[in-house]
A = this chain, B = another copy of it.
C-alpha cells in the first residue's frame, strides 16, 4: 500500500548493462523501490531474454534500443571502458546518471569533456556534501567501499604513521568477477578452492583508493591483495594500520569509528568480528577494530565486511540515486 502512495510520482529509471550481476541487483532494488520504476533495462548478448528480478519480470532490450530519453535517472553497469560513453549519452539526453564502472572514478583517466571533467565520487559516508545537486556520480568499487570506509576515521584524523605501509588482505565472492562464463568461474573450479589474484598491487581498484588517501592527506602506501572465495556474495577486508601514536590503555579501539559514523544508517560498528553472513543482501558495511599485541609499531587491525553487490555496487548506487533525486537516503534500501 506504501506503493500506491508513491505511484503518482514514481521516477522512471533506466539500467544499462542490466544482465550482469550488478545490473540484475539494480533492477531488483528498483522494482521494490517506492519512488522508482524501471523504464528500461538493456543488455548485450542477453537482449530479448526475460528474468525475474525482485518481484517483477524484466525483459532486456538491446543497448542500442535503450530509450535514454524516457529515463530521468540512468544506472550504468556497463563494463569498464565501455561505460563512460554511455554515461555521456544519458547525460546529454537529460538524465541524471550513476556510473558503476571504474571509468569516472578518481585516479582513473577516462573523463569525457561532455561531463565537464571530474565527477563526484559516490561514497556518501565520506563525500555526501559533494553529491548535492550533482548530475553524474561515479559509484565506488566494491573493495574500495569496504576499505575506504574502514580507513576513513584514522585517515582524516591524521593517526596513520607517516611513511608506513597499510596492509590490506581482502576476499570476495565470485559475483564480484561478474556474470561471465569463464572456465575458472565454473562451480567445479571454485568449490573447495581459494586463491589470490592481482598479487603485487596490480588490482584496478588501487587507483581510487590511493586518490582518496591523497585527498585525506595520508602519507602512507597501500599493499592490497585480493582473493577469490567459494561463496556467491560478500567481501571481507582485513586491514592493518601502523599508528603515529599508540592507543591509550583501556581505550575502546573502535570508539573513534563509533563517533565518526554516529547516525550513519548504513555503517555498523560492532564488538564482534564481522562475517559475510551479517552483511549479505544488506546495504551496510560492518566494521570491527582490534589492537595488535606484541608489535613494536603500534598497530590497529580493522575488519570490514560488505555485500559486494549491494553496498559494494547496486545498493550504494541506489543510495547515490536517492541523494541525486532528493529522496531520503535509505528509501528502498531496507532490503
Asked if A290 and B188 sit within 8 Å, CB to CB, the answer is: no
Q: Cβ of B2 and Cβ of A200 under 8 Å apart?
A: no
A248 within 8 Å of B (CB atoms): no
Across the interface, do B188 and A303 meet the contact criterion of CB distance under 8 Å? no
Name A250-296 residues within 8 Å CB distance of B: 273-278, 280, 288, 290-296
Q: How far is the CB of A225 from chain B (nearest CB, A)?
A: 5
How many angstroms between the C-alpha atoms of A191 and B187 in the bound complex? 7
CB-CB under 8 A for A293 and B201, given A171-B194, A195-B273, A273-B195: yes
State the CA gap A294–B277 with chains docked (Å): 34
**Given known A-B contacts A195-B274, A223-B292, A225-B169, A187 and B232 have beta carbons under 8 A apart:** yes
Q: Given A167-B167, A195-B273, A196-B273, is A294 in contact with B201 using a C-beta cutoff of 8 Å? A: yes
Closest to A183 in B: B181
Report A1-49 residues with CB < 8 Å from chain B CB: 1-2, 21
A52–B201 CA distance with the chains assembled, in angstroms:
28
For residues 217 through 243 of chain A, which have their beta carbon under 8 Å from a beta carbon of chain B? 221-223, 225, 227, 229-234, 236, 238, 240, 242
Roughly how many angstroms separate A221 CA and B296 CA in the complex, as a whole number?
7
- In the assembled complex, the Cα of A221 lies from the Cα of B294 at a distance in Å of 8
Which one, B201, B275, B292, B293, contacts A295 given CB within 8 A?
B201
Within 8 A of B (CB), among A156-189: 163, 165, 167, 169, 171, 173-175, 179, 181-183, 185-189
Q: Does A192 contact B (CB under 8 A)?
A: yes
Interface presence of A299 (CB below 8 A): yes
- Least CB separation from A282: chain B residue: B55
* Distance in Å: Cβ of A54 to nearest Cβ of chain B: 11
Interface residue? A199 (CB, 8 A): yes
Interface digits, A54-70 against B, CB 8 Å rule (1 contact, 0 not)? 01000000000000000
- The answer to whether A197 has its CB under 8 Å from any CB of chain B is yes
Partner of A192, one of B165, B223, B231, B291: B231
Contacts of A233 on B, CB cut-off 8 Å?
Answer: 192
- Closest B residue, CB atoms, query A191: B232
How far, in Å, is A150 (CB) from chain B's closest CB? 13
CA distance A187 to B187 in the complex (A): 4
User: If A169-B238, A188-B174, A191-B187 touch, does A200 touch B290 (CB 8 Å cutoff)?
Assistant: yes
The answer for the CA separation of A294 and B195 in the assembled complex, in Å, is: 23
Is A297 positioned at the interface, with any CB of B under 8 Å from its CB? yes
Question: Once the chains bind, are B186 and A295 in contact (CB under 8 Å)?
Answer: no
Interface residues in A83-129 (C-beta closer than 8 Å to B): none
A214 at the interface (CB under 8 A from B): no
Assembled-state Cα–Cα distance A194/B21 (Å) = 20
Write out the residue numbers on chain B whose beta carbons fall within 8 Å of the beta carbon of A222.
Answer: 294
Tell me the minimal C-beta distance from A278 to chain B in angstroms: 8
Contact pick for A193, options B185, B196, B225, B277, CB 8 Å: B277
Q: Identify the interface centre among A195, A291, A295, A301: most chain B CB within 10 Å of its CB.
A: A195
5 contacts between A and B (CB under 8 A): A187-B187, A187-B232, A193-B231, A201-B293, A229-B230
